[in-house]
Structure 1
Amino acid sequence: MDYDYWKRQSFDTPLFPDIEWSKPEQKSMAGKLGIIGGNSLGFAGVAEAYSTSLATGAGHIRVLLPDILKRTIPTTINDTVFAPTNPSGSLSKNAIAEMKALGEWADSILMIGDAGRSGETAVVYEQFIQAYTGQLVVTRDAIDLVKNSSELLVDRPHTVLIVSFAQLQKLFQAVYYPKVLTFSMQLTNLVEAVHKFTITYPVTLVVLHKDHLVVASHGAVTSQLWNNPMLIWRGSVAAKAAAYWLWSPNRPLEAITSSLLS
């Protein structure tokens, strides 16, 4: 069967070389990225995202963390905002003001995870997502934290979800999408499913399946062989995707696909 909406990329043959060529040379033109994440037990994903997006070429990066981390955050992260912490060590409901201020400053927000499992943090994340209208990338355990707002996420324009296959299964179920995803399904079946899903909803999806990283947006799909899932789970894939999307805000599929080669 011919899938005219599906393109395959390899490390030897980039699908969208113009994205790389259009990378801004001046820092002032390379966009502002806000990163939200962390809790008292960890901020490894935040640190990884900060260093990766900086190395990738994001112009300005600002990190928002629970204030309980003030004494433990490394000095290499040099533009940090701290917000109130709840007893669980995660962002409290009173963090919404700092989150909104970050959203007003940034061109794009990356919710990188390490956010803990606090219900209060889930609520403040959901409040922020409802209020924020800019580019939003959500990944790792931040996806699980806002699972009760799945309908809001998939209906939201300018949104990229970088998910595990299990998270994608739950997302389809949460919005009552009439397609069952199974771990045994062929890659072609998954490609067809995300093709139809992203025609129905304006969200952009990135998911690993059968050693392929699949990107889907507005019905178009790309895929690439991928043998290092740890880069996804550590957050570096999301950080690169967020940086590239800053430069090509109207072309999420092309930007994210290109970021996979960097």
Structure 2
Amino acid sequence: MGYDYWRKQNPAKPLFPDIEWAKPEQRAQRGRLGIVGGNKLGFAGIAEAYQTALSTGAGEVRVVLPDALKRSIPPAMTDVIFAPSNPSGSLARGAINELRALSSWSTGLLLAGDAGRNSETAIVYSDLLSTYDGPLVVTRDAVDLVRNDAEAIATRPRTVLVLSFAQLQKLFRELYYPKILTFNVPLMQLVEALHKFTITYPLTIATLHRDTLIIAHGGEVVTTDWRDPMRIWRGKTAARAAAYLLWTPSQPLEAVATSVAAHNP
């Protein structure tokens, strides 16, 4: 059976080469990426996302971190704003002003994880997303923090979720979506499920199933062979996707697919 909505991408040959050519030559024209995350026990993923976004080609990158990390930031992170933190060392409700300022400055936001599983931080994220309507990428434990807003996230245009298969299962359950995903689901059935899911909802999904990275948007699905899951779990894949979206925000499927093909080992 043929699936005209399913395309397979060779890691060494992007399906959408025009996306790479669309990158503006001047850095000043490549957009401004705001990154949010970190807690007092960890920010390695944030530091890696910061460097990855810059090396990928983002015009400017600015980070908001909890002030519990003030003494831990490496010198290479030069554009950092510290916001109030709670006793757990994650972003407190008082951080909303810094986050709104970041969203006003940026042309795209990345909720990059290392956020800690803190209910107060989840409320801050919810407050931020209630007013921010620009391009948004959410990954790692930030996906769990916005799960209470699953309906708002799923119906929000210009949203990319780079998530684990387990997080995808939870998203389907939160939305009462009439498809149960199991870890042994065949690739063909998962592709079909994401085809139908992204017809229903306007967001973009990127998830890893065994050795295949699946990207879906608007009913279209692209799969790529993927041998290095740590690139996803450390946040590099989402950071690259966020950078590409800065200059092609109206083509999320093509942007994300190209971002993963260009540097997929």
TM-score interval, normalised by the smaller of the two chains: over 0.9
Q: Give the letter for the 1:125 counterpart.
A: Y
> What is the CA-CA distance between 1:241 and the residue it aligns to?
0.3
TM-score (norm 1): 0.99
Query: Residues of 1 paired with 2:146 and 2:188: CA distance?
Result: 29
Could you tell me which residue of structure 1 aligns to residue 58 of structure 2? 58
Report 1:138-157 matches (<5 A).
Answer: 138-157=138-157
Q: Give the letter for the 2:98 counterpart.
A: E
Query: Residues of 2 paired with 1:244 and 1:255: CA distance?
Result: 6
> What is the CA-CA distance between 1:188 and the residue it aligns to?
0.6
Query: Residues of 2 paired with 1:174 and 1:15: CA distance?
Result: 33
Q: Give the letter for the 1:245 counterpart.
A: L
Could you tell me which residue of structure 2 aligns to residue 13 of structure 1? 13
Query: Residues of 1 paired with 2:224 and 2:256: CA distance?
Result: 12
Could you tell me which residue of structure 1 aligns to residue 161 of structure 2? 161
> What is the CA-CA distance between 1:100 and the residue it aligns to?
0.5
> What is the CA-CA distance between 1:22 and the residue it aligns to?
1.2
Q: Give the letter for the 1:131 counterpart.
A: T
Report 1:24-173 matches (<5 A).
Answer: 24-173=24-173
> What is the CA-CA distance between 1:240 and the residue it aligns to?
0.3
Query: Residues of 2 paired with 1:14 and 1:145: CA distance?
Result: 32
Q: What's the C-alpha RMSD, in Å, of the aligned pairs?
A: 0.7
> What is the CA-CA distance between 1:64 and the residue it aligns to?
0.3
Q: Given that residues 245 and 255 in structure 2 are in contact (C-alpha distance below 8 angstroms), is that contact kept between their aligned partners in structure 1?
A: yes
Number of corresponding residues: 262
Query: Residues of 2 paired with 1:117 and 1:251: CA distance?
Result: 32
Could you tell me which residue of structure 2 aligns to residue 199 of structure 1? 199
Q: Per-residue displacement from partner, 1:23-44 (whole Å, max 9, x unpaired)?
A: 1110111100000000000101
Residues 1:211 and 2:207 are matched in the alignment:
no
Q: Which moved more, 1:57-66 or 1:147-156?
A: 147-156
Per the alignment, in what secondary structure is the counterpart of residue 261 of structure 2? coil
Could you tell me which residue of structure 1 aligns to residue 239 of structure 2? 239
Higher RCO (CA 8 Å, separation ≥ 6 residues): 2
> What is the CA-CA distance between 1:13 and the residue it aligns to?
2.7
List gaps (5 residues or longer) in structure 2.
Answer: none
Q: Per-residue displacement from partner, 1:76-104 (whole Å, max 9, x unpaired)?
A: 00001110001110000010010000000
Where has structure 1 moved over 4 Å in runs of 4 or more? none
Identity %: 59
List gaps (5 residues or longer) in structure 1.
Answer: none
> What is the CA-CA distance between 1:117 and the residue it aligns to?
1.2
> What is the CA-CA distance between 1:11 and the residue it aligns to?
2.3
